[in-house]
Amino acid sequence: MKNNLDLPAVTPFPFPVTVLGAGKIGRTIAAMLHGTGDYAVTVADRDSHCLAALPNGVAARLADPTDPDVCAALLDGAGAVLNALPFHAAVPVATVAAALGVHYFDLTEDVAATRAIRALAADARAVLMPQCGLAPGFIGVVGHELAQRFLRHGGELIELRMRVGALPRYPSNALKYNLTWSTEGLINEYCNPCDAIVDGRRVEVPALEGLERFALDGIEYEAFHTSGGLGTLPETLAGRARHVDYKSIRYPGHCAVMKLLLDDLRLRERRDWLRDIFDSAIPQTQQDVVVIFASATGRVAGADGTPGPLTQASFSARVGGADTPDGHLNAIQLTTAAGICAALDMVVGGQLPRHGFVRQEDIALSDFLANRFGRHYTCHPLQEALA
């Protein structure tokens, strides 16, 4: 059985990758990679209809990637695997990839899965890099860059706040929300505990709490705690920041309806019911916008090491969808696929480590935005600013 431990020092061209999952995100990943000509892409899924929608030139394998033996066969000869399956498949696939020495990337927001994958990476001779999407993913790159503006010269980071939302541009229901990505992942974020740093201590806070309202470019939003968005930043910034948190952005009123469903109607205890309700009652949309806002507050140290005045640094972006030769990509497809493709590109190109656990904060924001995939964050903006 081939694996990347057998590959020569020079990266083969085109680089062989396997994408697991042929849903909207998996197909977008495959199209982006295939379009460069630098990757030989194979996509595996158990749904023949999804595979039929793949771009010409992308190899399709009808199989169940969640079966460990099948997964091992699918990764035979691959240099990397990009896992676009639901979050509960993250650890099983990563386990197979680690055993075979195949670079592993995923989009999971699940905190427990990420911890398990990190444990697998202790002796790994290939990369294990989970959480490579938008949030977690790109927002961790942004948050770390803002934090380092204060910390790199011995300054003080008081507060780091990160906010992300994938929203319909034209909401028309009581939730003021449309489905734009994985229903399972959405429910997972709304139900699981959320990592944060409060008063300098790493803590867990409940999802759907910490409700706040704010305006950005004249549009009113609300935000509240959801699970997984911080990635590994709480560990990275432990003991170095007073307050770090992540919240999902929605239109005002969404949180109250979700609390009704999850708490008052106790659907938190029946996630399968909630998934069925969402999938059958909430329409999907191609007309979405990804809203990103992050801010850091602290004191930059002067040349003599003396803390300077209290200052704030921020990043904001509103990214829309795009028309491509393979069809229209909505904003969440575009940003999520761009994140994982950029991570792969930087590992293959030698900009990131080639083995072990790799965090999103190991990526420099300037390198990400300069990457041919990362540039999608600035090529399709409704607005973008770094101050």
pLDDT tens-digit map of 8-56: 334 667 999 999 999 999 999 999 999 999 999 999 999 999 999 999 9
260-266 — which CB contacts under 8 Å span 24+ positions?
262/190, 262/191, 262/208
Taking 60 as the threshold, does the pLDDT of residue 381 lie above it?
no
- Whole-angstrom distance, CA of residue 90 vs CA of residue 109: 10
Q: What secondary structure, in 3-state letters, does the chain show?
A: CCCHHHCCCCCCCCEEEEEECCCHHHHHHHHHHHHHCCEEEEEEECCHHHHHCCCCCCEEEECCCCCHHHHHHHCCCCCEEEECCCHHHHHHHHHHHHHHCCEEEECCCCHHHHHHHHHHHHHCCCEEECCCEECCEHHHHHHHHHHHHHHCCCCEEEEEEEEEEEEECCCCCCCCCCECCCHHHHHHHHHCCEEEEECCEEEEECCCCCCEEEEECCEEEEEEECCCCCCCHHHHCCCCEEEEEEEEEECCCHHHHHHHHHHHCCHHHCHHHHHHHHHHHCCECCCEEEEEEEEEEEEEECCCCCEEEEEEEEEEEEECCEEECCEEECHHHHHHHHHHHHHHHHHHCCCCCCCEECCHHHCCHHHHHHCCCCCHHHHCEEEEEEC
Closest CA to 298 of 366, 247, 243: 243
User: Which pair of structure tokens corresponds to residue 145?
Assistant: 């860059």
Share of the chain above pLDDT 70, in %: 95
pLDDT, tens digit, 9 for 90 and up, residues 79-97 = 999 999 988 999 999 999 9
Average pLDDT, the chain: 91
Q: Where are the domains of the chain?
A: 15-129, 138-329+368-377
pTM exceeds 0.85: yes
- Whole-angstrom distance, CA of residue 197 vs CA of residue 245: 7
Confidence of residue 62 (pLDDT cuts 50, 70, 90): very high
Q: Give the angle 113-185-268 at the CA atoms, nearest 5°.
A: 100
What's the mean pLDDT in 144-169? 94
Taking 90 as the threshold, does the pLDDT of residue 191 lie above it?
yes
User: Which pair of structure tokens corresponds to residue 202?
Assistant: 């790493």
Q: Which residue has the higher pLDDT, 1 or 48?
A: 48
How many Cβ atoms sit within 10 Å of the Cβ of residue 149?
15
Give CA 184 to chain center in angstroms.
Answer: 15
> Beta strand pairing status for 212-216 and 219-225?
antiparallel
Taking 70 as the threshold, does the pLDDT of residue 7 lie above it?
no
Taking 70 as the threshold, does the pLDDT of residue 318 lie above it?
yes
Which top CATH class is 15-129? alpha beta
Confidence of residue 378 (pLDDT cuts 50, 70, 90): confident
Taking 70 as the threshold, does the pLDDT of residue 198 lie above it?
yes
Which top CATH class is 138-329+368-377? alpha beta
What's the mean pLDDT in 172-178? 90
What's the mean pLDDT in 216-228? 94
pLDDT, residue 20, reads 98
How many Cβ atoms sit within 10 Å of the Cβ of residue 263?
11
Confidence of residue 122 (pLDDT cuts 50, 70, 90): confident
pLDDT, residue 286, reads 84
